A and B are shown apart, each in its own frame.
Chain A
Amino acid sequence: MASTFFRYAAPAAFYPVARRLAPWFGAAAAVLAIAGLAVGLVVAPTDAQQGDAYRIIFIHVPAAWMSMFIYLVMAFWSALALGYNTRLSAMMAQALAPTGALMTFIALWTGAFWGRPTWGTYWAWDARMTSELILLFLYFGIIALRNAIDDPRRGDKACAVLTLVGAVNVPIIYFSVQWWNTLHQGSTISMTAAPKMASIMLTGLLLMSLAAWAYAIAVALARVASIIIERERGAVWISHLPEMRRLMPS
């Protein structure tokens, strides 16, 4: 069991798997997103207090969950990359970073659009919003560091160290911002005391969350396949791939 698992730690072995699985996860994401949006935008009733503005949670909440979860997954792959010096782990971390940044951005953007009609402002220095913004900066830092380093192996390890340092810091940042917030302004808005959600809304949220998961996996697999091709372009196995044969008939 373990040996079959570790066999796929080799980029050459994982590449065909990633290429084959990516479209399936992409299709699953599309189907789940259509179902989730249909439930969320059409079937679910209008909220008594927030009107139709609440419907943005079907995008906002899954994106916010993914933004934090992807960072955890990146930290996991980074720890593996540093501990076992495996190339594929670092490539997975690299492939996830842009998706994590995208999810963080979507969470912030949709949050602003939800906040305007509901709170009367696009932005408040709320603890969650502020830590989400700092999380976005962390993602940008990791991506920028990767782009600044030409040697991919150095980039792998440097980004892994940065991701792990950030992972230690994320909870500290979250609590510091929360305490700062309670000190400065009484919490006029509390998202934790949200009214009980109707089960149809919960269904929509669940479908959209699964869609976000499937999308993140599909995009990460497609991106890691591209990274493998780019990094291993000198390797012999690449030239034996059917898609390469089609491109360059010898």
Chain B
Amino acid sequence: MTPAAALPLDRAATGAVAPAFGWALARDLKLAFRSRAELGVQLLFYVIVVTLFPLATTPERTLLANLGPGVLWVAALLASLLSLPRLFAVDFADGTLEQMAGSPWSLPALVSGKIAAHWLTTGLPVAVLAPLLGLQYALEAPALWTLAAGLLLGTPILSLLGAIGAALTLGLRGGGGLLALLVLPLCVPVLIFGAGAVDAVRAGLGAGANFSLLAAGLLIALTGAPLACAAALRIALD
């Protein structure tokens, strides 16, 4: 059940990366679009987690405004984590992954396409929705825009790091909890700089430094994570 057209084998020999990336991206997006309910559930999870915090703590506006950035970021991290186990599991179960690894196309490129699709279906909606939820936390307009921009920069890193964890735990028992144990400590810097950007704007400092650091982290993750992820997948498939 391959929704996208098969990749032509003759062009693989040229070492082209873009067709492999585009193919994997289009395929995963199409698959995700066909199970829209699942995407809705992930987004609802995000909304509900964010809603629980004021109920469990306080509806007091100044306290909520202090808590808000951190809560919204932690919830984004959890929402990203929720969908990670399925990133490779279905393809692993039906043998598609093995075909990908055995094909002459670059596995890191194919993996990058899948990670991009994961971000477009989880990270991007979360970033778009965040300002709306930030309103519930009494955040002002500049803080809301900073929050969304920070999430746009930071959630791809979460998807990239998470993909390494998903590849390492592929087919293992206790996958979900183990995945969280592996991925969450690695995500600490993203959390700090992302939530820190909003705090900095609220304190009148400007988010430039935090955004630069997030962008630097994104560049490192973009270059390193697909390679590490492909290596981890080959280990799992061995």
Which residues does A use to contact B, with CB under 8 Å? Answer: 82, 134, 137-138, 140-141, 144-145, 148-149, 153-154, 157-158, 161-162, 164-166, 168-169, 172-173, 176-177, 179-180, 183
Does B188 contact A177, Cβ atoms closer than 8 Å? yes
Tell me if B238 counts as interface (CB < 8 A to partner A). Answer: yes
Q: Are A169 and B182 interface neighbours, CB within 8 A?
A: no
A115 to chain B minimum Cβ distance, whole angstroms, is 21
Interface contact A162-B168, CB-CB below 8 Å:
yes
Rank and list the top 9 A-B pairs by shortest CB-CB distance, nearest first.
Answer: A176-B189, A137-B185, A157-B235, A180-B192, A148-B172, A141-B182, A176-B192, A141-B181, A158-B168
With beta carbons under 8 angstroms apart, the residue of B181, B186, B200, B217 that contacts A183 is B200
Tell whether, in the assembled complex, residue B193 and residue A176 are in contact, meaning their CB atoms are under 8 Å apart: yes
Taking CB atoms, residues of chain A closer than 8 Å to B164 are: 161-162, 165
Are B185 and A134 within 8 A (Cβ)?
yes
Specify which chain B residues have a CB less than 8 angstroms from the CB of A145 in the assembled complex: 168-169, 178, 182
Binary contact readout B200-238 vs A (1 if CB under 8 angstroms, 0 otherwise):
100000000000010001001000100010011001101
Q: Residue B184 at the A interface, CB < 8 A?
A: yes
Q: How many Å lie between the Cα of A173 and that of B192 in the bound state?
A: 9
- Other-chain contact of B168, A153, A161, A172 (Cβ < 8 Å): A161
The answer to whether the Cβ of B174 comes within 8 Å of any Cβ in the partner chain is yes
A157 to B228, CA, bound (A): 11
Residue of B nearest to A137 (CB): B185
Q: Is the CB of A148 within 8 A of B235?
A: no
Secondary structure dominating the interface of A:
helix
| B28 at the A interface (CB under 8 A) | no
A sample of 13 inter-chain contacts (CB < 8 A) reads: A82-B231, A137-B184, A140-B181, A144-B181, A148-B178, A154-B235, A154-B238, A158-B235, A161-B164, A165-B164, A165-B186, A169-B186, A173-B189
Bound state CA distance, A187 and B95, in angstroms?
54
If A165-B228, A177-B192, A180-B196 touch, does A148 touch B185 (CB 8 Å cutoff)?
Answer: no
CB–CB B217/A172 < 8 A: yes
- Given contact pairs A154-B238, A161-B164, A180-B192, A138 touches B228 in the complex (Cβ within 8 A): no
B196–A148 contact, CB under 8 A?
no
Contact with A along B148-190 (1 / 0, CB 8 A): 0000000000000100100011001110001001101110110
Task: Contacts A162-B182, A165-B164 known; list 9 others, CB within 8 Å.
Answer: A138-B185, A141-B182, A148-B169, A161-B228, A165-B161, A172-B189, A172-B217, A176-B192, A183-B200
Distance from B208 Cβ to chain A, minimum over Cβ atoms (Å): 14
